């Protein structure tokens, strides 16, 4: 590669602009050499797409759709849900069961097995020869039949986790079922690096509790009235790999206990300004950390309270600073007392828990809270941090960046069935919230990200599931927004996430809101796989752009996984490759971390080393390059990236 | 511990390749899925429209009744959420050829008209609905409408907490009824109402705690 990828003066500014810019605006900025355009100045190609089930209008930017397949006959018209991956296969949940697709040739997925077994949501996970499926709805049957039990209490009902053996992938066998009190909306498979004999499954259930007559021991009473309550807890199932039929609940950790005062994080700028104004005006401002809410006490009440403090100390006249302090303490006590007297005020369950075993951490998205959990003892997860956010309605899922210094939570405002991306819906609602994870493992709010193109009221749209794309040196994620399509964005700078690619279709139905769009989308071994609720399965490839170079894409494709579950985050490890070194060089061009002439020389050195046929000569060339780059690092404005490049060269030198 | 699946679960028959045939099958499946509802599901949806309409109505008072910033934000979220859900419920009823109420705005109130000929004919938002858990009585509505500033905040939270808890009770009652909640849309909607409103109740109870704290003489 020669020459400059990015005209020097525009790079930084174009990145800033792109934080909110539409595709067209970003491209225009590129051609105009960095004239910052206002975000909404150009029409977004996603706006106004024609509706249709099979012939909807389509907009794509920096991704190419290489394949789309319709569901098998039995699954048409039934919701496609989450995905799991093993080897060359992708397993797609459906409210009527699940389908296994062979994507060895991603341009032509072929159906291997469809398994009819109705139950919502049929979220799937896989580990070795075992397939796990969630059942939540009342219609689920133990025998996979299609006549849901009609009685509120039925011995034929399955609400919980189904376990199948897929050793013979064309002939799955039901080898276990675990019934749970609230069914299983979704679940998380936790592979404990220290335990080779078992896997653990965390059950998330948001539906109402079953009657005790159907599943003994299920109680809907608050825990202070009934210590066995199914509320305020998650369930941990231990699955012996050798004997999956013995899978059973081993603990029901109450990770929410005493969750009354998590450290609060920053608010939206408008809220902050309002609070600052109130403070400046001498008003009483209370922070209710447990809900991320700041409350400005009305003057009359503050006055009344202060006078009460004066009276209580037997004084007269104007309240003093000490009265003010006492009043503040009094209010705080009242809040605490109220919380205490009415039992646990934390969430009663989690929606999703994303485990990251390599870090021993999990991100729990639990009703009104985002939690950070220590999962090193899998059956006994412990809460280490909690955050709330006044802009978040319903914490839905969590994704860590690869090195575990950040976590992104989503807000599934409206439950996924509502059109929450209209131009009238605030950008902070139904969005992602990005937090950094400090050395003390506390969470600090940084910013929101929401897919920026306004959608119609015929399109259900809100933040949903996604995964990291293994571009070395950057934090890039692909995410579902239901009928808002898929959005790929960079959140390397936690304060300034920006979109770099997207794909969207018009509404499924032009006349009314009909559920559709992307349920979930994940990067898996070089491609992006999308579960489309109404239309089937899509596969995409990234296209090079000024925001993501061919080298960066090639480097991402070097990461190979044996399997992937949506809520089990793998740590990406990059094998030594020239693509990775060149990706870092491209990133240094973008950041201005090395002078243009030096970059040209570095790229030439990489090209020459790759062309050398003698491994010894290649090793010497790469070692010399690494050494010179290490010397460059000290003087660079982006020394961390120069060091990454030097390390990449060293690893290449050592590679066979 | 686990039952053997009933037979012939494995199926690889492809969907029609012709787009029109595919869409016809898709629509036929949606149509037959719509036949799974029961009278209890219909009752729940119709009741919940009234229930939601009252929440929207009183939330719309926040800006004009001197509510604090955090109450105004809360109210805006309730309006956005419950208006969308009302639209969803009306669409659900129409899709199933069930009589669906009509809505109109009058003096800042969201009025619900039951279709003519129905048992609860012309029940304006409120009236027939007072029997539902958590609904404000006429006297309570008047009391709230007359309140301003901090007193509005306190009453709004008090009544909205009861209102939300009432919605959760309605979901519990639905799921305890034979055959109810088997319709996928009803199950999802009712489950969402339950979790969303319970989450919001927690938030409102803490906000109310702060307000009560500010008025120790009460």
- Interval B91-107: pLDDT, tens: 999 999 999 999 988 88
Q: Give CA torsion, residues A589, A593, A596, A599, to 10 deg.
A: -80
pLDDT of A31:
33
A468-498 burial by CB neighbour count: b if 16+ within 10 A, else e?
bbbbbbbbbbbbbbbbbbbbbbbbebbebbb
Co-location of A498 and A624 in the same domain:
no
The three-state secondary structure class of A553 is helix
CA distance A324 to A320: 6
Co-location of A514 and A619 in the same domain:
no
Which residues of chain A lie closer than 8 angstroms to B3, CB-CB? Answer: 142-143, 174, 177
> What are the C-alpha distances in Å from B146 to residues A243, B57, B68, B142, B143?
66, 14, 16, 6, 5
B137 lies within 8 A of chain A by CB: no
Q: Tell if the CB–CB gap between A152 and B178 is shorter than 8 Å.
A: yes
Strands A186-190 and A173-179: unpaired
Read off φ and ψ for residue A378, nearest 5 degrees.
-55, -35
In chain A, which stretches have pLDDT less than 70? 1-42, 223-224, 257-272, 287-295, 333-346
A370 lies within 8 A of chain B by CB: no
CA distance A115 to A165: 13
- Interval B30-65: pLDDT, tens: 998 888 899 999 999 999 999 999 999 999 999 999
Find which of B36, B191, B201, B204 to mutate to test the A interface (most A CBs within 10 Å of its CB): B191
The three-state secondary structure class of A184 is coil
- Interval B159-203: pLDDT, tens: 999 999 999 999 999 998 988 888 889 999 999 999 889 888 888
Say if residues A363 and A369 touch (Cβ distance below 8 Å): no
Sign of CA dihedral A236, A84, A411, A76: negative
Say if residues A504 and A517 touch (Cβ distance below 8 Å): no
CA distance A351 to A398: 10
Q: The complex's ipTM?
A: 0.85
Find which of A69, A77, A261, A422 to mutate to test the B interface (most B CBs within 10 Å of its CB): A77
CA distance A430 to A411: 5
> What are the C-alpha distances in Å from A631 to residues A561, A625, A634, A642?
35, 10, 6, 9
pLDDT of A269:
55
Co-location of A522 and A628 in the same domain:
no
Sign of CA dihedral A481, A485, A486, A487: negative
CA distance A543 to A560: 19
- Which range, A284-293, B103-112, B145-154, is most confident? B145-154
Q: Tell if the CB–CB gap between A288 and B209 is shorter than 8 Å.
A: yes
The three-state secondary structure class of A454 is coil
Look up residue A102 and give its two tokens: 């062979």
Residue A167 inside a domain? The answer is yes
Q: Quick one: which H or E segment has residue A123?
A: strand A121-127
pLDDT of B108:
79
Burial class (CB in 10 A: 0-12, 13-18, 19+), A549: buried
CB atoms within 10 A of CB A414: 24
Co-location of A283 and A178 in the same domain:
no
End-of-domain residue from the set A296, A314, A341: A341
Say if residues A504 and A484 touch (Cβ distance below 8 Å): yes
pLDDT of A268:
53
Q: What mean pLDDT is reported for chain B? A: 87
Facing residues of A65 across strands? A540
CA distance A278 to B68: 11
End-of-domain residue from the set A300, A325, A341: A341
Residue A52 inside a domain? The answer is no
Co-location of A427 and A312 in the same domain:
no
Look up residue A329 and give its two tokens: 């303490």
A175 lies within 8 A of chain B by CB: yes
Q: Tell if the CB–CB gap between B199 and A331 is shorter than 8 Å.
A: no
Work out the angle at residue A639's Cα, subtended by the Cα atoms of residues A635 and A641, and round it to the nearest 5 degrees. Answer: 145
Helix%, strand%, coil% for chain A, nearest 5: 25, 30, 45
The three-state secondary structure class of A173 is strand
B148 lies within 8 A of chain A by CB: no
Nearest CB to B29 within list A76, A151, A271: A76
Domain containing residue A301: 269-341
Say if residues B45 and B186 touch (Cβ distance below 8 Å): yes
**pTM > 0.90:** no
pLDDT of A7:
32
Co-location of A530 and A476 in the same domain:
yes
pLDDT of B7:
54
Say if residues B206 and A368 touch (Cβ distance below 8 Å): no
B93-112 residues touching A, CB cutoff 8 A: none
End-of-domain residue from the set A297, A318, A341: A341
Q: Tell if the CB–CB gap between A152 and B150 is shorter than 8 Å.
A: no
Co-location of A187 and A223 in the same domain:
yes
Residue A53 inside a domain? The answer is no
Cα of B208 to nearest chain A Cα, Å: 9
Does residue B1 surpass a pLDDT of 50? no
Look up residue A410 and give its two tokens: 């989503």
Say if residues A395 and A365 touch (Cβ distance below 8 Å): yes
A476-515 residues touching B, CB cutoff 8 A: 512-514
The three-state secondary structure class of B179 is coil
Co-location of A219 and A364 in the same domain:
yes
CB atoms within 10 A of CB A16: 15
Give A564's DSSP letter: E
B150 lies within 8 A of chain A by CB: yes
Helices A269-280 and B69-95, axial angle in degrees (round to 10): 150
Read off φ and ψ for residue A590, nearest 5 degrees.
-65, -40
Q: Domain holding A63: CATH number?
A: 2.130.10.10
Q: Which domains, and CATH codes, for chain B?
A: 38-178+185-212 (1.20.1260.10)
Give the position of tokens 């994620």.
Answer: A477
Q: Tell if the CB–CB gap between B150 and A74 is shorter than 8 Å.
A: no
Co-location of A302 and A233 in the same domain:
no
Find which of A155, A308, A310, A418 to mutate to test the B interface (most B CBs within 10 Å of its CB): A418
Co-location of A441 and A538 in the same domain:
yes
Read off φ and ψ for residue A222, nearest 5 degrees.
-60, 150
pLDDT of A398:
96
Q: Where are the alpha helices (DSSP H) in A19-86?
A: 23-31
Work out the angle at residue A520's Cα, subtended by the Cα atoms of residues A514 and A525, and round it to the nearest 5 degrees. Answer: 145
Look up residue A462 and give its two tokens: 């809100």
Domain tally, chain A: 4
- Asked, as a colleague might, if the bond just before A600 is cis with ω within 30 of 0, I would say no
pLDDT of B122:
42
Residue A570 inside a domain? The answer is no
CA distance A569 to B96: 42
Co-location of A310 and A358 in the same domain:
no
Read off φ and ψ for residue A338, nearest 5 degrees.
-65, -40
Say if residues B94 and A511 touch (Cβ distance below 8 Å): no
Q: Edge-to-edge strands of the sheet including A382-387?
A: A352-356, A361-366, A369-374, A382-387
From its phi and psi, is residue A282 left (phi > 0), alpha (psi between -120 and 50) or beta? left
CA distance A367 to A393: 8
- DSSP codes, A606-618: HHHHHH---HHHH
Give B4's DSSP letter: P
Co-location of A317 and A404 in the same domain:
no
Give the position of tokens 């690096």.
Answer: A193
Nearest CB to A150 within list B6, B179, B210: B179
């Amino acid at each position: 590669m020669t020459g400059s990828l990015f005209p020097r003066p525009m790079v930084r500014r174009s990145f800033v602009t792109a934080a909110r810019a539409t595709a067209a605006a970003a491209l225009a900025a590129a051609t105009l050499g960095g004239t910052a355009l206002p975000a909404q100045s150009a029409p977004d190609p996603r706006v106004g797409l024609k509706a249709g089930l099979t012939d909807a209008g389509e907009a794509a930017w920096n991704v190419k759709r290489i394949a789309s397949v319709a569901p098998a006959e039995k699954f048409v018209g039934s919701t496609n849900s989450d995905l799991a991956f093993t080897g060359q296969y992708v397993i797609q949940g459906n409210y009527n069961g699940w389908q296994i697709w062979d994507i060895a040739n991603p341009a032509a997925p072929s159906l291997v097995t469809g398994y009819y077994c109705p139950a919502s949501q049929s979220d799937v996970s896989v580990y070795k020869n075992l397939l796990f499926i969630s059942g939540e709805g009342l219609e689920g049957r133990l025998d996979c039949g299609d006549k849901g039990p009609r009685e509120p209490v039925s011995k034929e009902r399955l609400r919980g986790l189904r376990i199948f053996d897929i050793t013979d992938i064309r002939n799955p066998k039901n080898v276990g079922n675990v019934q749970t009190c609230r069914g299983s909306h979704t679940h998380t498979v936790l592979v404990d690096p220290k335990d080779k004999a078992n896997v653990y499954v965390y059950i998330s259930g948001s539906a109402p509790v079953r009657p005790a007559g159907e599943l003994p021991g299920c109680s809907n009473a608050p825990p202070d009235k009934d210590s066995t309550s199914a509320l305020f807890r998650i369930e941990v199932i231990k699955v012996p790999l050798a004997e999956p039929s013995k899978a059973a609940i081993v603990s029901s950790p109450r990770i929410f206990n005493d969750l009354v005062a998590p450290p609060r994080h920053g608010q939206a700028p408008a809220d902050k300004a309002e609070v600052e104004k109130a403070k400046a005006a001498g008003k009483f401002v209370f922070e209710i950390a447990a809900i991320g809410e700041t409350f400005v006490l009305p003057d009359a009440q503050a006055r009344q309270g202060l006078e009460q403090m004066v009276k209580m100390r037997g004084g007269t006249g104007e309240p003093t600073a000490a009265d003010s302090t006492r009043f503040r303490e009094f209010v705080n006590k009242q809040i605490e007392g109220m919380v205490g007297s009415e039992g646990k005020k934390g969430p009663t369950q989690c929606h999703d828990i994303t485990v990251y075993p390599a870090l021993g951490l999990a991100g729990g998205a639990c009703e009104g809270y985002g939690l950070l959990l220590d999962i090193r003892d899998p059956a006994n997860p412990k809460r280490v941090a909690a955050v709330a956010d006044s802009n978040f309605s319903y914490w839905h899922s969590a994704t860590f960046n690869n090195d575990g210094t950040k976590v992104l939570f989503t807000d599934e405002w409206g439950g996924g069935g509502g059109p929450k991306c209209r131009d009238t819906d605030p950008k902070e609602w139904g969005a992602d919230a990005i937090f950094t994870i400090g050395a003390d493992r506390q969470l600090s709010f940084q910013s929101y990200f929401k897919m920026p193109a306004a959608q119609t009221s015929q399109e259900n749209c809100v933040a949903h599931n996604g995964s990291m794309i293994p571009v070395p040196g950057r934090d890039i994620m692909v995410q579902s927004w239901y009928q808002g399509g898929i959005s790929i964005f960079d959140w390397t700078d936690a304060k300034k996430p920006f979109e770099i690619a997207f794909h969207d279709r018009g509404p499924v139905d032009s006349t009314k809101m009909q559920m559709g769009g992307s349920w979930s989308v994940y990067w898996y071994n070089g491609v992006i796989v999308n579960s489309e609720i109404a239309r089937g399965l899509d596969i995409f490839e990234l296209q090079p752009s000024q925001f993501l170079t061919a080298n960066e894409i090639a480097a991402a494709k070097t990461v190979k996984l044996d399997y992937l579950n949506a809520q089990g985050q793998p740590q990406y490890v990059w094998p030594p490759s020239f693509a990775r070194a060149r990706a870092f060089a491209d990133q240094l061009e973008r950041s201005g971390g090395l002078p243009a002439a030096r970059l040209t020389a570095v790229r030439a050195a990489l090209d020459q080393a790759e062309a050398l046929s003698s491994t010894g000569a290649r090793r010497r060339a790469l070692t010399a390059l690494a050494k010179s780059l290490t010397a460059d690092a000290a003087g660079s404005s982006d020394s961390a990236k120069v060091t990454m490049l030097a390390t990449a060269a060293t690893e290449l030198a050592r590679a066979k | 511990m686990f039952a053997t699946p009933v037979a012939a679960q494995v199926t690889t028959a492809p969907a029609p390749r012709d787009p029109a045939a595919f869409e016809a099958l898709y629509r036929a499946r949606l149509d037959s899925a719509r036949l799974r509802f029961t009278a209890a599901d219909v009752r729940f949806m119709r009741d919940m429209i009234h229930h939601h309409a009252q929440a929207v109505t009183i939330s719309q008072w926040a800006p004009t009744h001197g509510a604090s910033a955090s109450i105004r934000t809360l109210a805006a979220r309730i309006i956005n959420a419950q208006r969308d859900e009302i639209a969803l419920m009306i669409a659900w009823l129409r899709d199933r050829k069930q009589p669906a109420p009509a809505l109109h705005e009058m003096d800042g109130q969201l009025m619900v008209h039951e279709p003519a000929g129905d048992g609860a004919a012309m029940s304006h938002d409120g009236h027939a609905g007072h029997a539902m858990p958590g609904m404000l009585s006429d006297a309570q509505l008047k009391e709230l409408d007359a309140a301003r500033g901090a007193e509005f905040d306190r009453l709004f939270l008090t009544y909205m907490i009861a209102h939300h808890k009432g919605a959760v009770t309605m979901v519990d009652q639905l799921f305890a009824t034979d055959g109810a909640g088997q319709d996928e849309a009803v199950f999802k909607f009712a489950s969402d109402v339950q979790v969303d409103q319970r989450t919001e109740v927690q938030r409102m109870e803490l906000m109310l705690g702060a307000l009560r704290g500010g008025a120790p003489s009460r």
